[in-house]
Amino acid sequence: MKQTTELPEELCADEAVCFIAYRHHVSPQQLLRHFLCGEASVPLEENEVEILKGLLKITYKKEEQQ
């Protein structure tokens, strides 16, 4: 069974997310879904992983505060 995950539009449109996705020839949504699911089909560098972790923390903290 496939599970769909709602991804915040601001996260998908983030300049860093778009850049990393472009480097790996995937859409920002695909990149984030692979990252969140822990799939290795998009081989990320350590610095890319840290950038995405930081962005996810910031984004979800903002959502919790609202």
Interacting residues of 12 by C-beta distance below 8 A, sequence separation 6+: 28, 29, 32
**Spatial separation of the C-alpha atoms in residues 36 and 29, rounded to whole Å:** 11
Q: Which residues of the chain have pLDDT under 50?
A: 1-2
pLDDT score recorded for residue 1: 38
Q: What is the pLDDT of residue 66?
A: 63
Q: Within its chain, how far is the Cα of 25 from the centroid?
A: 14
Distance in Å from the first CA to the final CA of the chain: 31
CA–CA separation, 16 and 1 (whole Å): 31
**In angstroms, how far is CA 64 from the centroid of its own chain?**
18
Predicted model pTM: 0.79
